[in-house]
Amino acid sequence: MTTIDPVAPAPDDDLTAAGVGWDIDPLLAGASVDELLDRADDQVRAIEDWRGRLATVDAAGLEALMCQLADLEDTLGRVGSYVGLRLAVDTLDPEAGALMARVQEQSAQFATRTVFLELEWSALSDEHVTDLLTDDRLAFCAHHLANLRRYRSHLLSEPEEQLLAEKQVSGGSAWVRLFDELTSAIEVSLPPEVAGAAGLGDGEEPVVAGLEQGLAMLAHPDRDIRRAAAEAVTAGLAPGLRTRGYVFNTLLLDKSVDDRLRSYPSWLSARNLANEASDSSVQALVEAVTARYDLPQRWYRLKADLLGLDRLADYDRMASLAPSETQIGWAEARTVVLDAYRSFSPVLADAAQQFFDEHWIDAPVRPGKRPGAFCAYTVPSHHPYVLLNWTGRTRDVATLAHELGHGLHALLARPQGVFHQTTPLTLAETASVFGETVTTNALLASLDDPADRLALLASSLEDSIATVFRQVAMNRFEDAVHTHRREEGELSVERFGDLWFAAQTDLFGDSVEITEGYRTWWSYIPHFIGSPGYVYAYAYGQLLALSVYARYAERGPAFVDDYLKLLAAGGSQDPVSLGRIVDCDLEDPSFWDAGLDIVAAQLDAAVDAARAAGRLA
């Protein structure tokens, strides 16, 4: 097992993952974007011949139609993934932006021409649908078709559906793209001492860096560095704050109009329906988590003691407890993560190796690159890609393990095909969190020094707190802003800040001081903009993944096959059925409490490690 060396510096190119870029040209399969769009047009023409025929379709006919649709999805998925990934690495490239816009416009036109299919399918009788979906020839799309029927009461007429599809390109999608471009262009002027600590510049002059590099410095062990970095981030967010607030307001209104037209009872109902989760079950999750806010508050009070502070400030929350600042090179991180995956399953490790060997990862920080990290599934006939913003920090190793978990889920589920490869968001984080947990625990097993174990246990606990409690606090913020926009109208920047402050205060209690600058930090979070309602899925996935890992701890190697079956199943079954594969009962009301008890056990382990390291009495 390779461990991270907190002392030895990494070469600059390795530390920044210079040259680690993806090759997305194979997505086009030797064709041009225009050729693929022309192919899609021909495929749509063939599908249009089915208009008016679904009422009498038999299983053989429906199989033929769904195969045609799968081919269309593959074509559009390839070209859409290509232009999206190209823009993600340089949102400031006008040519890439124009290409993305053209593909979106064409795709919207294709959607308007095929919208009749969902309407005709939803109009069929339950008896006819049941007869069709029990035919083995439709197994490759049965769950997908059954799910479409769940939207029956929220569909509009065909002209209305066509109009909404056409207007989406110049409406919601356009505002989301603008937000991505605005946040990708945010610059943070790091003071000399912060720039020097980040390995940027000579430490004598301020350095202009990207938002990700500024945020990464919040983990620095020196409080003065953290404070200065936070102030720099706040200053960097200020220039475009009102514009980003206007974008958010516009999308809040856009969603409220959609929800009203489609008769959704709440702002979150559409997301819950897509996640195959009831409104009541999601509310139960939120209530279970908010009822245990004492866990993060207890940790933050303990961390203040460990750092020698009376009370943490918001910029102290991610402070490293490691005895020295760690720098991790790309090569070392790759070995750490692959070794961890191999300790669990050679099958997963060999699959993960492909991401490195075959250029499926884009890692370096660059001007104009989209912030954060993600895994793009693309299409089942191709392979996924991973985007990172590598800053050479310990946290980046966990992010790499996390995104590779997504990638491995996508790879193993490819045989499910275009209709069943992806899971609802509520299960989408399971493989990523599980992979991150495997990596952390493999590293823990290799550490003997109590101080090193404390630092890693603290990092793991803080990941759980961020994923479960912080994401639910973000859900509470979202709930507040959507409700305000619908009941009271447009929100001012100050009002956004007030609601953000209130949600964060509920989370932290009196354990963390929220600084004035932190009131604007809602304004760079992309999930609020592009995926409203998404964030609770992180908590759902984290608690599920921890429970899945607990099953592994109980059963050992015998569990591995079941876990691989779960990943290979993709989204071919509903979440409850998928959970049963790994012996998790998502219908049990106490399920969330069991996951939260695991987080509490992580906290107890961190306390024990702090005592062993001589940091507590």
What is the pLDDT at residue 2? 34
**Maximum distance among all Cα pairs of the chain, rounded to whole angstroms:** 76
Tracing tokens 């009376």 back to the chain, one arrives at: 310
Helix (H) or strand (E) holding 559: none
> How many CA atoms lie within 13 Å of 1's alpha carbon, on the beta-carbon side?
17
One-letter-per-residue 3-state SS of 503-540 = HHHHHHCCCEECCCHHHHHHHHCHHHHHCCCCCHHHHH
- Domains of the chain, first to last: 25-170 (1.20.140.70), 176-239 (no CATH)
What is the pLDDT at residue 588? 83
Lowest mean pLDDT among 10-14, 450-454, 510-514, 592-596: 10-14
What is the pLDDT at residue 139? 97
Q: Residue 490 corresponds to which tokens in the numbers above?
A: 């447009």
CB 606 within 8 A of CB 296: no
Instruction: Grade residue 324 by pLDDT with cuts at 50, 70 and 90.
Output: low
Instruction: Grade residue 615 by pLDDT with cuts at 50, 70 and 90.
Output: confident
Q: What is the pLDDT of residues 205-236, one digit of tens each?
A: 999 999 988 998 998 989 999 999 999 999 99
What is the pLDDT at residue 429? 87
What is the pLDDT at residue 450? 85
Give the chain's radius of gyration (CA, Å): 24
Helix (H) or strand (E) holding 214: helix 211-216
Q: What is the pLDDT of residues 18-28, one digit of tens each?
A: 999 999 999 99
Of 223, 605, 145, nearest to 417 by C-alpha is: 145
Question: Taking 60 as the threshold, does the pLDDT of residue 171 lie above it?
Answer: yes
Q: What is the mean pLDDT of residues 86-115?
A: 94
Q: Mean pLDDT, the chain, as a whole number?
A: 93
Question: Taking 70 as the threshold, does the pLDDT of residue 149 lie above it?
Answer: yes
CA distance 93 to 537: 32
DSSP label of 85 = H
Specify the 3-state DSSP secondary structure of 207: strand
Q: What secondary structure does DSSP assign to 421-469, as a single string?
A: SSPPHHHHTHHHHHHHHHHHHHHHHH---HHHHHHHHHHHHHHHIIIII
CA distance 345 to 221: 35
Q: Residue 205 corresponds to which tokens in the numbers above?
A: 């002059």
What is the pLDDT at residue 1? 31
Of 440, 444, 423, nearest to 546 by C-alpha is: 440
What is the percent of the chain with per-residue pLDDT over 70, rounded to a whole number? 97
**What is the dihedral sign for C-alpha 420, 424, 425, 430?**
negative
Can you say how many angstroms the Cα of residue 262 is from the centroid of all Cα atoms in its chain?
Answer: 26
What is the pLDDT at residue 23? 95
CB 339 within 8 A of CB 442: yes
CB 465 within 8 A of CB 371: no
Q: What is the mean pLDDT of residues 484-501?
A: 98
Lowest mean pLDDT among 260-264, 316-320, 451-455: 451-455
> How many CA atoms lie within 13 Å of 545's alpha carbon, on the beta-carbon side?
27
Instruction: Grade residue 265 by pLDDT with cuts at 50, 70 and 90.
Output: very high
Instruction: Grade residue 326 by pLDDT with cuts at 50, 70 and 90.
Output: low
Lowest mean pLDDT among 113-127, 274-288, 352-366: 274-288
Instruction: Grade residue 189 by pLDDT with cuts at 50, 70 and 90.
Output: very high
What is the pLDDT at residue 8? 41
CA distance 254 to 226: 38
Q: Which of 436-450, 456-470, 585-599 is the most confident on average?
A: 456-470
CA distance 66 to 59: 10
Question: Taking 80 as the threshold, does the pLDDT of residue 589 lie above it?
Answer: no
Helix (H) or strand (E) holding 364: strand 361-364
Q: What is the mean pLDDT of residues 193-201?
A: 88
**What is the dihedral sign for C-alpha 518, 524, 529, 531?**
negative
Of 444, 458, 450, 504, nearest to 302 by C-alpha is: 458
Q: Quick one: how many helices (H) and strands (E) in the chain?
A: 28, 7
